[in-house]
Amino acid sequence: MEVARDGITVNNICPGYVWTSLVENQIPDTMKARGLTRDQVINDVLLAAQPQKQFVQVEQLASLAVYLCSDAAGAITGANLSMDGGWTAQ
């Protein structure tokens, strides 16, 4: 079935902490500033509000963006899509 697109869809992807070099590079400074271990910074600071206790992966965000650009998502517009390991569901 082909979906005709007559309009523009606009959606918002709201990620939690995404494992990137930016996040990884912040860990040593946070360790030093708070006197914590690497694991403590990851679990007790960065992932504290994410019930799944896992970073969002770049590939996961990319997959959602590709889906939203596909015909299969043609009826999705004006949506805020959280990809945050359950952060907003609390």
Q: What secondary structure does DSSP assign to 32-80, as a single string?
A: HHHT--HHHIIIIIISTT-TT--PBPHHHHHHHHHHHTSGGGTT--S-E
Domain assignment present for residue 67? The answer is: yes
The whole-number pLDDT of residue 4 equals 54
Domain assignment present for residue 48? The answer is: yes
The whole-number pLDDT of residue 3 equals 53
Domain assignment present for residue 58? The answer is: yes
Q: Which residues lie across from 14 on neighbouring strands?
A: 82
Kindly report, residue by residue over 29-85, the tens digit of the pLDDT: 999 999 999 999 999 999 999 999 999 999 999 999 999 999 899 999 999 999 999
Domain assignment present for residue 23? The answer is: yes
Number of independent structural domains in the chain: 1
Domain assignment present for residue 8? The answer is: no
Domain assignment of residue 71, given as a range: 18-84
Domain assignment present for residue 5? The answer is: no
Domain assignment present for residue 10? The answer is: no
Task: Compute the CA torsion angle 47, 50, 52, 58 (nearest 10 deg).
Answer: -70
